[in-house]
Amino acid sequence: MDVRRRSPKASPGPKASDALPLPLYLTNGIFFTLFFSVAYYLLHRWRDKIRSSTPLHLVTLSELAAILSLIASFIYLLGFFGIHFVQSFIARASWDIETLNSRPPTRYVDPLPSQDDEDLVNSVVSGEIPSYSLESRLGDSYRAASIRREAVQRLTGRSLDGLPVEGFDYQSILGQCCEMPIGYVQIPVGIAGPLLLNGCEYSVPMATTEGCLVASTNRGCKAIYASGGATSVLFRDGMTRAPVVNCPTASRATELLFFLEEPANFDTLAVVFNKSSRFSRLQKIQCSLAGRNLYIRFSCGTGDAMGMNMVSKGVQNVLDFLQDEFPDMEVGGISGNFCSDKKPAAVNWIQGRGKSVVCEAMISGEVVEKVLKTSVSALVELNVIKNLTGSAIAGALGGFNAHAANIVSAIFIATGQDPAQNIESSHCITMMEAINDGKDLHISVTMPCIEVGTVGGGTQLASQSACLNLLGVKGACRESPASNSRLLAAIVAGSVLAGELSLMSAIASGQLVKSHMKYNRSTRDLSTILLGNLTGGSNLASWVVAGTLAYFLWVKPSQELKRQQQEKAALAAASDTYRYVEKRKPIPDPQETGLIYGNKNKSKKSEE
């Protein structure tokens, strides 16, 4: 692992709590006690003076000492709690001023200071200038995003405050990743691992907003590491694209099918296909007929790229070649959904798409009990009734797992993959078996459709590129093409194995809800928020002392005063014979008065 030197932290300055050579909690307790006890004493003294008509400015020696102690304790408490609070606002205000002075004039606080930009916004709002043409007109991607952002706010009447626009290289996504940008979304990235896979350690970056996901995967990595690591094998690698062509008759479509599946014609088609890229290698052609429509599924290797664009160019070359041989053939579409891309499909589940990987590990019974807090037999039984039987009852297609999509999506977002391809990439079947006379656990995940790449698309963005570099798979491998993308697929499968192991253990031990309530809920300390993250805000002893003294200083005296007022009122009422006191008669019982629901008891009257 890459060990980097950290810059030494600046030593904190002297604090007011250093006034006494005592521990922090004792120091705070002493000053809290001093402040409230002296204040309580002075308030009682002043109350007695007011009752006896004694001037307040005449103080005794004890009162003078109490006043000095009150001032001293107040200064300490102000220095300990108040100064840091005030300085935080002063520092924040000065930072904002420096930021305003250092940033370019087109920042969002004043995004359009010039008249030219204001005119452009008005033109976009009125429709005179298309929003999509701002980059080509201005030649400044950041300025175009700022103008478009302001125009969107004016058109919708809604603020985009909170969606950052600064700090992003919009030139890097121009014509490649995203059109008409107005900002970017921040997603936290966590690290799970080390994942011990095929004898190597990997720290796996996961971009997610779901609590417990990284922690759970990390626990699975710990269990795998303690048991000697996991092993993964890539057993198939080929991206697919399936155009649909239309022939005049079904018999003519059948002739085309025979031509494509003839082994003697494969080499010719491969030469035509491989001209699209030096990395593309046509592997096989599979056809499916539906009336006059023929679906042709091409599978090819794509090097370290995910390969959708590469295989599409190769398919277009073959279609142009076929139209020379079959002039009556019409191309219905470059994709006929027999690929199948970004959709759950049995053809992908059975035949695979992208990288097909199997990953396994043997987890010792001791690790299962100590790390995963469950038993081997419980895991095996749960896997059968949940991942296998339960998924079968639900009619799952490739979903014979606990939560493979969670891990796949998090790694895809962190490493710049296409998040939509999580649909087929998450096809996974998790198997668990008891081995060594039931003492240990064998777990495996089989994933036939991991669609990843280390070049092209979002992998070239700075943040995603850094995550790929963390895994050691950044860019293309010159020595062995496709090695980086295959290693990334293996890491994805190994991470899914860790996630499956941990989640299944949490469910088997009944800890799933408890862990989510602990880690997937906000635990922010509201006291520190209200006090501005003050130093010592979490000092339990100080707050207990303060609360106790506050009770005896304010709550209890107010209760005594209220009781005294009630007693005086009662005495006054008793001594005043002419004071009117309303006497209310009790509500009569309907059974005794003969009134039931507003009607008199007729039987009672008749008896009288």
Residue 442, SS3?
strand
Q: Which segments of 186-265 are extended strands (E)? A: 189-197, 200-207, 230-241, 244-246
**Nearest Cα to 284, choosing from 268, 298, 295, 294?**
298
87 touches 78 (CB < 8 A):
no
The answer to whether residues 112 and 149 touch, using CB atoms and an 8 Å cutoff, is no
Q: What is the DSSP string of 245-292?
A: EE-SSHHHHHHHHHHHH-HHHHHHHHHHHHTT-SS-EEEEEEEEEETT
Is 418 one of the annotated active-site residues of the chain?
A: yes
Strand partners, 361: 230, 443
Say if residues 397 and 349 touch (Cβ distance below 8 Å).
yes
In DSSP notation, 466-477 reads HHHHHHT--S--
Q: Identify the three-state secondary structure at position 332.
A: strand
| 3 state DSSP class of 15 | coil
- Spatial separation of the C-alpha atoms in residues 483 and 305, rounded to whole Å: 11
Q: How far apart are CA 496 and CA 493, in angstroms?
A: 5
Report d(CA 531, CA 526) in Å as an integer: 8
How deeply is 396 buried, as exposed, middle or buried, from its count of CB atoms within 10 A (0-12, 13-18, 19+)?
middle
Centroid of chain to Cα 30:
44
Structure tokens at 596: 């039931």
5: its two tokens: 């030197």
Give the relative orientation of helices 483-508 and 512-519 as an angle to the nearest 10 degrees.
110
Annotated catalytic residue within 210, 261, 360, 381:
210
Annotation marks residue 516 as catalytic? yes
CB atoms within 10 A of CB 593: 12
The values of phi and psi at residue 120, to 5°, are: -65, -40
Task: Measure the CA angle with vertex 367, ends 366 and 368; round to 5°.
Answer: 90
Nearest partner of 192 among 414, 400, 515, 507, judged by Cα: 414
3-state helix, strand, coil in the chain (%, to 5): 50, 15, 35
- Tokens representing 182? 């107005």
Per the DSSP assignment, residues forming a β-bridge with 247 are none
Choose the catalytic residue: 15, 284, 313, 342.
342
Does 262 qualify as catalytic in the annotation?
no
What tokens does 172 get? 């890097």
The residue annotated as part of the active site, out of 140, 418, 433, 442, is: 418
Known catalytic residues are 210, 342, 418, 516
